[in-house]
Amino acid sequence: MIKEFEKLREEEVEILLKAPVLVSILIAGADGNIDKAETKEAVAIARGKQSRAREQLVDYYILIGETFEDKFNELVAGFPLKPEERNPMIIAELKRLNRILPKIDKNFAIKFHASLKDLAKKIAEASGGVLGYLSVSYEEAKLMELNMINDPSKF
């Protein structure tokens, strides 16, 4: 168990563990198509963060990295195909972080939030553009700042 999560209820921990997968699905599917490049990038980023995450988040990413791809595929299969139906459901789940993040260590919360935004940006850049990079669709750009999650540095 991540020490920052010790005082949280089980469902709150579950949201924290699911958040990177939800962000990945939200951004990858923003344009209506969750393509292989975005899926591959999401999995690679999650696995890469196991060793390259901000120090305080390494244990967190080791924990979620083990099951990230399976969780991603499971959640994609459980959500509606159309982004106009799927995205509000994911956004509602991510908004639950607004009640959870103030309950944990502020430094962890700030780094966690920044890490989710970094994940969103990298996934958005994973498809399109020259050689598949540096192009973000309008739909992805609207969502990748993750404005539905309050900035923990302002608590």
**How do residues 55-107 score in pLDDT, each as one tens digit?**
788 889 888 988 998 999 999 999 998 999 999 999 999 999 999 999 999 99
Structure tokens at 63: 């924990």
Quote the pLDDT of residue 41: 81
Q: What is the mean pLDDT of residues 120-142?
A: 69
Assigned domain for 65 exists:
yes
Quote the pLDDT of residue 134: 53
Quote the pLDDT of residue 46: 81
Assigned domain for 2 exists:
no
Q: Look at residue 40 and tell me whether its pLDDT is greater than 70.
A: yes
How far apart (Å, rounded) are the C-alpha atoms in residues 121 and 141? 9
Assigned domain for 5 exists:
no
Assigned domain for 44 exists:
yes
Assigned domain for 3 exists:
no
Q: Which residue pairs from 69-76 have beta carbons closer than 8 angstroms and sit at least 24 positions apart in sequence?
A: 69/43, 71/18, 71/21, 72/21, 72/24, 72/25, 72/39, 72/42, 72/43, 75/18, 75/21, 75/22, 75/25, 76/25, 76/29, 76/34
Q: Domain residues for 20? A: 10-154
Assigned domain for 1 exists:
no
- 4: pLDDT confidence band, cut at 50, 70 and 90? very high
State how many domains the chain has.
Answer: 1
Quote the pLDDT of residue 132: 47
Assigned domain for 61 exists:
yes
Assigned domain for 49 exists:
yes
Q: What is the mean pLDDT of residues 114-137?
A: 73
pTM of the model: 0.90
Quote the pLDDT of residue 135: 65
